[in-house]
Amino acid sequence: MNLQDVAKKARVSIATVSRVLNNAGPVKNSTRARVLKIVEELKYHPNLYARTLAGGKSRTLGVIVSNLENPFFLDIFRAIESDAHQHGYEVLVANTDYCARQLVSDVHLMMGRRVTGLAAIVSEMEPALMKELSEANLPVVFYDVGTAGRNISNIKVNYPKGIQKTVEYLHSLGHRRMGFVGHHTELDPLLDRKKSFIEAMKRCSGHVEYGTAADRDGPAGGQQATRQLLETGLRPTAIIAVNDFMALGVLRELRENNLRVPQDVSVTGYDNIRLSEFAVPPLTTVNIPRAEIGHLAFNALVPEGDDVHAQGREFRITPELVIRESTAPPRSST
Amino acid sequence: MNLQDVAKKARVSIATVSRVLNNAGPVKNSTRARVLKIVEELKYHPNLYARTLAGGKSRTLGVIVSNLENPFFLDIFRAIESDAHQHGYEVLVANTDYCARQLVSDVHLMMGRRVTGLAAIVSEMEPALMKELSEANLPVVFYDVGTAGRNISNIKVNYPKGIQKTVEYLHSLGHRRMGFVGHHTELDPLLDRKKSFIEAMKRCSGHVEYGTAADRDGPAGGQQATRQLLETGLRPTAIIAVNDFMALGVLRELRENNLRVPQDVSVTGYDNIRLSEFAVPPLTTVNIPRAEIGHLAFNALVPEGDDVHAQGREFRITPELVIRESTAPPRSST
DNA sequence: TTGAAAGCGATACCAC
DNA sequence: GTGGTATCGCTTTCAA
């Protein structure tokens, strides 16, 4: 079923049908009506492949994220998708599982799809890919990795600042033994988070001890990492998780060890995902405005977006501490 | 940048380049190597629109779900996506937010994309759409709605059975006042769940009371619905949530009312999403094998899949009760 | 206001 | 083994 079929049945040329379907060019009202009726009857749907091939523009955005299962990424994706649909764009998603090789292959797939713009919300990167993208003729926006350039926008959250605020807050409550739970510490951005923690600890006045552990992203990983942390013998009075999703697992492992939160151990997350409010107890965390990031990303890719001058720019976001019930002064100082 | 460019630079015809790129037909090794080198140099990526238009087959699957934010749907989507990638297929996702109108428009979009197969993992439906799809020449698989047919496969979970098991279990523990928390009760499948609850309650021997409430899908909705339930004056000793995602909110509202789980109130979910284990306390729930459903869906769409005879079939899944820590006998009988 | 025809960038068949 | 070319379904001039 194609334009031809519709044209024949409507006794017009395919050019006319095309005009009707695209509201382009002048068409007599009666003709338009007739065509539309046939389209309806035949349940004709245009072939977007042919359309894109002929038209040149795909009106498709590519979004690549590290872990779609983590609500943090899902939220950003959904924000982009929502903006996109509102502006008549489609969105292709891909998941890398924090694997740079996967990222490269995903990017190439998207380029094959001739995406109009590419958002890479990822923590992993490949220098060669960075170079290729910077030379490509395609609006790109990164979150967490890369640097801004001609066609490349960049959104970065000041993670160290958030971690610092968290550590200072816990220290001010009286915590002197803290643990850090992370994941994928072989990746620069995640390694930086861990380093920020260590530096913040070192800047603390007085005697402080700390330990770190890592496992995969997610509640199960958070639980596993916490187990490691507890086994070291360091008896942390506070545990800082690199994100809320992992913090969920921290909470569970603590509970299984009959450690109460926050009475025995304080816990903090990062991201402020919706779920963090539904944790038990509700998580003290650091807010990252995911919807805003999604909008920024969209505007950076689509010039028609609200902000015309968004392309090739660098955005910095300063996160804010959100204090809820998972933190408190330590029970007894030892 | 296209085949032509590569062909010119490699001093061969576009036909040869095409053969190299597709590993189709015979090509001299030296020629192949040369072409491949040029492709690399030029960073050429084939235009998938042209490819699909010419080749006829898109190797793209469409997946439509009701609420991607609910891990239940996300898990199914990821299972399908994983199978798809392994077989060289791509996947397009769309979200309906339980809105039938949105479903219709999503389906049409996918048809425009000439998807090779369509999976509709949704609770809403439009009779006209059902008809259109059943007449279409496209493998389709439904979850939760619709009926099997020539080109339509169907995956159904025996929800009533799971609800019945849950109610019977709670009743056997001694619960006599129970509440049901659902969402979108205007949609048949969801209404059926509620009805199943009511019927199961009525089948219980002895005097039982019950109430139901509904709000939107998700923790916030679960919390809100629970609030309604508590305000009715029915003091339920057990609350059955239509899914785990909402149960998370039930847990929270109970906690805010200083009601302990399971001592004061037992809570059950449905789906057995990963998160249900990380709830506090870990949720008693009903397992639905999401990965298996994803595989079934994929095989129903792609004949090359493991199961050749999967198309047009009907699959029924019987869910199993998973008892964890959110359920216990009621404290005191009143 | 409408139609004819030239691409868009691949695939695949048929010669050579 | 390789090259020429019809074809896929649509958009978009250019004439009529």
- The full set of domain ranges for chain B reads 3-46, 58-157+289-317, 159-288
What pLDDT digit, counting tens, does each position of A155-188 carry? 999 999 999 999 999 999 999 999 999 999 999 9
What is the model's pLDDT at position A86?
A: 81
Q: Which of residues 196-225 of A touch B (CB under 8 A)?
A: 218-220, 223
**Contact yes or no for A280 and B251 at CB 8 A:** yes
What is the model's pLDDT at position A176?
A: 96
What's the Å distance between residue B99 CA and nucleotide D1 C1'?
Answer: 56
What is the model's pLDDT at position B304?
A: 62
What is the model's pLDDT at position A55?
A: 85
What is the model's pLDDT at position B334?
A: 47
Which token pair is B84? 């798809």
> What pTM was estimated for this model as a whole?
0.90
Residue numbers of chain B with a pLDDT score lower than 70: 304-310, 332-334
What is the model's pLDDT at position B308?
A: 54
* A74 lies within 8 A of chain B by CB: yes
Beta partners for residue B241, in sequence order: B181
Q: Any idea which architecture B58-157+289-317 has in CATH?
A: 3-Layer(aba) Sandwich (3.40)
* B234 lies within 8 A of chain A by CB: no
B53: nearest CB among A50, A58, A280:
A50
pLDDT at residue A308 tops 70: no
Which token pair is A165? 């605020």
* A226 lies within 8 A of chain B by CB: no
Q: Which residues contact B85 (CB under 8 A, 6 or more apart)?
A: B91
* B327 lies within 8 A of chain A by CB: no
A159-288 fold:
Rossmann fold (3.40.50)
Determine what percent of chain B falls in helix, strand and coil, rounding each to the nearest 5. 45, 15, 35
What is the model's pLDDT at position A50?
A: 92
**Contact yes or no for B74 and A71 at CB 8 A:** no
* B52 lies within 8 A of chain A by CB: yes
**Contact yes or no for B112 and A58 at CB 8 A:** no
What's the Å distance between residue A294 CA and nucleotide C16 C1'?
Answer: 57
* B294 lies within 8 A of chain A by CB: no
What pLDDT digit, counting tens, does each position of A251-275 carry? 999 999 999 999 999 999 999 999 9
Cα–Cα distance, B188 to B123 (Å, whole number):
8
What is the model's pLDDT at position B186?
A: 97
Cα–Cα distance, B272 to B290 (Å, whole number):
9
What is the model's pLDDT at position A310?
A: 65
On strand D, nucleotides with any atom < 7 Å from a protein CB are: 1-5, 7-13
- Within residues 29-88 of protein chain B, the ones with CB less than 7 A from nucleic strand D are 30-32, 50, 53-54, 56
Q: Which residues contact B253 (CB under 8 A, 6 or more apart)?
A: B222, B223, B224, B226, B227, B230
Cα–Cα distance, B317 to A118 (Å, whole number):
40
A268, A211, A201, A266: which is closest to A238 by C-alpha? A266
Chain B contact set for A53 (CB, 8 A): 47, 49-50, 53
pLDDT at residue A230 tops 70: yes
**How high does pLDDT run on average in chain A?**
93
Cα–Cα distance, A197 to A190 (Å, whole number):
11
CA of B161 to nearest chain A CA: how many angstroms apart?
29
Selected residue of A48, A72, A226, A252 to mutate for chain B interface (largest B Cβ count, 10 A) = A48
- What is the residue-wise DSSP string for B44-81? ----HHHHHHHHS---EEEEEES-TTSHHHHHHHHHHH
For β-strands A266-268 and A238-241, DSSP reports them as parallel
What's the Å distance between residue A290 CA and nucleotide C11 C1'?
Answer: 43
CATH 1.10.10.1150 is held by the domain B3-46: no
What do you get for the CA distance between the two ends of chain A, in Å?
78
pLDDT at residue A303 tops 80: no
**Contact yes or no for B280 and A46 at CB 8 A:** no
What's the Å distance between residue B113 CA and nucleotide C2 C1'?
Answer: 29
What is the model's pLDDT at position B255?
A: 96
What's the Å distance between residue A109 CA and nucleotide C11 C1'?
Answer: 19
Q: How many CA atoms lie within 13 A of B293 on its CB side?
A: 28
* B158 lies within 8 A of chain A by CB: no
Cis peptide before A236 (omega within 30 of 0): no
Cα–Cα distance, B135 to B204 (Å, whole number):
44
Nearest residue, CA→C1' of C8: A54
What is the model's pLDDT at position A334?
A: 47
- The percentage of residues in chain A with a pLDDT greater than 90, rounded to a whole number, is 79
3-class DSSP state for residue A65?
A: strand
- Within residues 12-51 of protein chain A, the ones with CB less than 7 A from nucleic strand D are 14-15, 18-19, 21-22, 24-25, 46-47, 50-51
**Contact yes or no for B43 and A132 at CB 8 A:** yes
Give the Cα-Cα-Cα angle A218, B243, B84 (nearest 5 degrees).
Answer: 60
> Do the domains spanning B58-157+289-317 and B159-288 agree at the CATH topology level?
yes
Which DSSP symbol is given to A246?
H
Burial B144-181 (b: 16+ CB within 10 A, else e): bbbebeebbbbbbbebbbbbbbbbebbbeeebbbbbbb
Cα–Cα distance, A62 to A85 (Å, whole number):
13
